[in-house]
Amino acid sequence: MAQEVDPIVRIRELKKDQVNFVLENVDLAFANSFRRVMMADIPTVAVDMVEVQTNTTVLPDEFIAHRLGMIPLVSHNCDQGMRYTRLSVMVEEGVTMDVTSAHLDVSGPHRGQEQHWNEEAEGNEEMAKRGSNFGHPVGKDDPNVPPVLICKIRKGQELKVRCIAKKGIAKEHAKWSPCSAVAFEYDPHNKMRHTTYWYETDARAEWPLSDNALEEEPPRDDQPFDYNARPNRFYLNVETDGSLGPQEVVMKGLQELQQKLASLLLGLKAEPELDLLPGGEAPLPPANGAGGAPGMAPASVWNAGGGSWNTSPTAGGAMWGTTPNPGGNWGSTTPAAAGAGGGWSTTPAAAGGGWADTGAGGGWQSPGRGPNPGWSSPSQNVNGWAA
């Protein structure tokens, strides 16, 4: 039996907005799940609601709202509160003006107040966990980062909107994805033949190898094909849009994947098996208070007189129960009370009109029991159905 080897992560390159690393000694399913989690399960902050107050530009409101939603916002520790943002621009000169993400002014959570978030105003310890630029457009006030173009306006045109940013994940909308691209590759020489190349004359000449091929030995022409080979080295390059750093994306991706696997294991745990009674029924839960099941309301609340599902005797009315009821109810394997016809049971009923194995009159009876053998109708003495 092969000895298990611990997973290895080797970082080849780390930049401000991307990281290139190699993941070894893991299964293909795990590596692909890790890639998908980084792309679609890490929460970020993005504009989700746009209130257009004034729009005299050539672009419709929906077009501008979509562009605002795709602007990446700084989302470090985005599990905390959200921000309100406002955009108000008007051109008074005869030139074309570019409306960009740099014109978005981030204000406090109180409507009608143009104050920035701070711990004193909010009185919340969670505010201290976030940076001062939380919720701002990525690259704002940074001369080395060009802003995102929203639209262009001319003289006399005006655009004034109010945006509300919310937390979400990319499974709901791509605007919440912290990654702009995630490159994923394994077996660059295609030794396992998981990829079928389309070519005209020579596949090797028409399909050049990637730089990851330098990490592995090329296959020999006389080397036999290994049907049991499995990939165990994966090359990933994660590029973010700036809302989260590459290191935070990788770490949060691992945490999210670990949480999903823990939830799966918890859901697969076998529940304690219930011992069956001799009659084939599951045992009733122990009484709690006035006869209700654990965690349920007392019987006086659930059986006020009719139309309820209960596990204790009731005072009357048609109910669903598992114990004898004096009224016309759907009973269990216990006898119905005298004079209360119409109950479903497997024991003799005191009055007619019930489903029973035996009975004094008018019941649907099983074969071979009662005065007349066979299945018979409630009025078996007159025009009865008999087998």
**Two structure tokens written together for 140:** 């704002």
Q: Which CATH number belongs to the domain containing residue 166 in this structure?
A: 2.170.120.12
Q: pTM above the 0.75 mark?
A: no
Q: Which CATH number belongs to the domain containing residue 250 in this structure?
A: 3.30.1360.10
Query: Which range marks the domain in which residue 247 is found?
Result: 8-41+179-215+228-268
Residue 71 and residue 151: Cα distance in Å, rounded? Answer: 13
Q: How many Cα atoms within 13 Å fall on the side-chain side of residue 154? A: 3
- Phi first, then psi, for residue 89 (nearest 5°) are -140, 140
* CB-based contact 128:115 (threshold 8 Å): no
In the chain, what percentage of residues exceed pLDDT 70? Answer: 59
Average pLDDT of the residues of the chain = 73
- Same-domain status, 29 and 58: no
Would you say residue 382 has pLDDT above 50?
Answer: no
Residue 52 and residue 184: Cα distance in Å, rounded? Answer: 41
Q: What is the mean pLDDT of residues 330-334?
A: 43
The pLDDT score that the predictor gives to residue 165 is 86
Residue 5 pLDDT grade (very low, low, confident, very high; cuts 50, 70, 90) = confident
Residue 205 lies in a domain: yes
The pLDDT score that the predictor gives to residue 302 is 44
The pLDDT score that the predictor gives to residue 237 is 97
Residue 74 and residue 138: Cα distance in Å, rounded? Answer: 6
- Same-domain status, 211 and 248: yes
- Same-domain status, 21 and 98: no
Helices 28-40 and 246-268, packing angle to 10 deg = 120
- The per-residue pLDDT for range 105-163, each reduced to its tens digit, is 877 543 334 444 444 444 455 566 666 778 889 988 888 889 999 999 999 999 999 99
- Same-domain status, 37 and 184: yes
Residue 360 lies in a domain: no
Residue 53 pLDDT grade (very low, low, confident, very high; cuts 50, 70, 90) = very high
Q: What is the mean pLDDT of residues 180-201?
A: 92
> Please, what sign has the CA dihedral across residues 246, 249, 251, 253?
negative
Residue 282 lies in a domain: no
- Same-domain status, 168 and 89: yes
Quote helix, strand, coil % in the chain, to nearest 5.
20, 20, 60
- Same-domain status, 81 and 151: yes
Q: What is the mean pLDDT of residues 348-377?
A: 46
- Same-domain status, 17 and 88: no
- Same-domain status, 66 and 158: yes
Residue 311 and residue 345: Cα distance in Å, rounded? Answer: 15
- The per-residue pLDDT for range 295-317, each reduced to its tens digit, is 444 443 444 444 444 444 444 44
- Same-domain status, 34 and 77: no
* CB-based contact 56:152 (threshold 8 Å): no
- Same-domain status, 95 and 186: no
Q: Are strands 44-55 and 158-168 parallel, antiparallel or unpaired?
A: antiparallel
Q: What is the mean pLDDT of residues 87-91?
A: 69
- Same-domain status, 17 and 78: no
The pLDDT score that the predictor gives to residue 281 is 52
Residue 351 lies in a domain: no
Residue 47 and residue 69: Cα distance in Å, rounded? Answer: 5
Residue 109 lies in a domain: yes
How many domains are there within the chain?
Answer: 2
3-state secondary structure of 45: strand
Residue 325 lies in a domain: no
DSSP 302: H
Residue 13 has a CB neighbour count (10 Å cut-off) of 9
- Same-domain status, 68 and 166: yes
Q: What is the mean pLDDT of residues 358-378?
A: 47
Listed in sequence order, the residues at least 6 apart from 289 whose beta carbon sits closer than 8 Å to its beta carbon are 298
Residue 220 lies in a domain: no
Look-up of token digits 């690259």: 139
119 or 55, greater pLDDT: 55
Q: What is the mean pLDDT of residues 208-218?
A: 92
Question: Which helix or strand (DSSP H or E) is residue 50 part of?
Answer: strand 44-55
Residue 331 lies in a domain: no
Residue 235 pLDDT grade (very low, low, confident, very high; cuts 50, 70, 90) = very high
Q: Is 135 exposed, middle or buried (0-12, 13-18, 19+ CB in 10 A)?
A: buried
